[in-house]
Structure 1
Amino acid sequence: MLIKNAAVKGPQAFTGDILIEEGKVTALGRHLFAPAEATIIDAAGKAVIPGLVDVHVHFREPGFEQKETIKTGAAAAAHGGFTTVVAMPNLNPVPDNVADLKRLVAKNHSDAKIHVEQFAAITSGLHSNELTDYAAMKAAGALGFSNDGVGIQDAATMYHAMQGAAAVNAPIVAHIEDNGLMAGGVISTGSKAQAFNLPGINHVSESAQLARDLTLAEATGVHYHACHVSTKQSVELIRDAKARGVHVTAEVTPHHLLLDYEHIPANDPNYKMNPPLRAEMDRLALIEGLADGTLDMIATDHAPHTAEDKAGDFKSAAFGIVGSETAFSLLYTSFVRSGKFTLNQLLNWMSTNPANAFGLDAGTIGIGQPADLTLVDLDTPFTIDANTWYSKGKNSPFIGRQVFGKVMTTIAGGEIAYEEEKL
């Protein structure tokens, strides 16, 4: 494959041609020659960026294929410009043993046109205190260990899990939630919970467990990764822990960066997610945490549901929204076009940093690197339209927004994983 007239953005910025052979970038330069059988892509008028990396997606297979499959989830990610994603283990069966994990890893590879890595469970069945076999699971293909969707309630279980993961040099990827402090809430405590007469989720349900986990991570030396950080207190805890030398990385979602609970227009379950949309001060603290390096990366927490699962109101509907197909355009429009952040910063948070944090061979465009890259139209506005999505899930509060940053072509391992249809 030869990509001509490539305006490469990011730390390796240059303008010229990119030659791809056997899944790798083999030459960068001007007026490169390609063999007769090569695919030629003219990138004139488009930006070429490193393929995006998302370390938090839910593909729902096996067990919940009505919501999403590996094939549809990976296609949605490719449509959003992602070339590498990491899938969560809250499935049925849960990948908490070698046989089920191996089957899942093989299906990730066979059904996806992008790179799909897999987290295995921290504990058997996600809800128990019985640790899985970390050494065997890592050997079978687990990138790390997570009980996402379930906070580990017992401190001793988390402590021993961290010891076990540290022993095999694997990360613990934590869903941070104290069930007792959640108290059955469905929306953040605050004005909207009162207005809609809904049970609230106190912010300490996240930060109290995070404080515990950071203390345990410091004691064990594990790589501890905090999922979907949502509160000002959590940002402060992570900032302090990093200053002490704790090996902690942290992610924030696009929806927590762009929305707070004052943006919720009605009792609309497309605004229901876990953790919930917090106060404006929390959203601003998350943005500040990204800017100063406290938060390392942006991850979508892509959580597709059926229309039936998201029907009704906050009390009856499932938690979660989709994000793979909207993340880049929303953030590029809100942060880069507004001048708040540079495109380089956004690409660091959405590609380079997550790849580096999890040891993934991704996040850069260079000779010898995997040919994972995305062509984007940065200048033409378009409207977010769920009818164009590849995901089975249509659950999003961002439908109808006008944005910039349309993904035109996604290339993973030197093969086209998504290409905008030419009208």
Structure 2
Amino acid sequence: MEPTKDKRPLCVTFGSPLIGDQMFQQAMSQSSNLNSCFLHVASLQDRLISSSISNHSYSPFGIFLLCSDFGSCCFESPVSVLRLLNLISQLNQGLQNCDYGSIVENLYRNAICKDSDCPNISHSNLLQKSLALQLCALGFPHLLQETDMKNLVEELNKQELLKQKKRFIPNKKLDEMKTNMAKLEWYKKISKTGAGYYDRFKDHLSTADHDVVGFIRELNNYWKEMVEEAEKQPQKEGATFRTRWLYAGTNYRRMVEPLDVARYYKDGKRDYINQGRSEHYKQLEKWLENDQKSQSTGRTNNVESILTLDSCFWAHVEEALILCQKVKAAASEVEKKEAMSSLDEFEKYVYELLKNYAVSPEIFLDGSSFMRWWGEYFGIKRASYASEFANFMKNPINYKKYVEGAYNFP
């Protein structure tokens, strides 16, 4: 029968030696859902497992159900698992071939551990208490002195705290990122007195513009990690994850990517969409397109504060400016005709955005790259040029009507 796509795979091993290298282990550990799909039942007296520990090319991954004659318990931290396996191989000389059938039967019959079996060790927190009880279940009090037992608990506690600190916590980090988004929204607002936030950032004229670089870096790092995490999750969990963060990710992409475009073209580069666009932007855009609930903006009463729906809009503007220069410097009619054809396509693209109220009205600000393009393009076409787009652009009163959502496009 064909497996259901929504179900996660499950792999259970018995007495398997360590098989993954450190890079594989790190990739698995980054996704708690995927890591939990692997359960390794391992006896502390198993010679096969002990022999693989000496080879430092291998690292544990998944969840380990460690078993001994005293009981069993689970550990997920790779460092903790490796530490315990190493310690047991050093202390226990009774290594042997193990009957995992009997071990499974014992798991049904025996409780994992009892408080009364644990020596009197003081613990500063519940995590240490839990770790001590798990070590008791494996019989460590019979193998170690009380002082050594305390030291082992503290060592494992540090590893668990370090793992928790490194763990990616989307909810908490998303709240932190909202602060950076608010700062960018304020930056966008105050930039309306000039050529707009795209051109202001591209020119880097003030200290505030340089501060924005830090906000962008933190936001990009967060969303790159977010997208990577979603891609690693099994299908059902990944889809839920993407839907949950879709609005925030779309808002981020439309706010931040134009500024990445500005830096790209400021450095003299070309063809951002094919040569410079980050994969995480592509994925965020793809998820929005695939989402059944996504809807076009359509007409609205006031579009003054909207973000342009196409986060690559300014890349298209930059390429159109380059095309204008190609037309002027064309060495042949063929070259000129090709450039003009691409400019005509750009005009159609912009006009469709305008008709759908899908582009921010800040493109009409004096000195913006878009208005500079329009000036050069209209100069190439000449004053006699007429089209629905040209008729709209020739009259500045139409810009105000657009802001109010009151312009009736043919």
Q: What is the TM-score with the length of structure 2 in the denominator?
A: 0.24
Q: Which has the higher strand share?
A: 1
Q: Which has the higher helix share?
A: 2
Q: Which has the larger radius of gyration?
A: 2
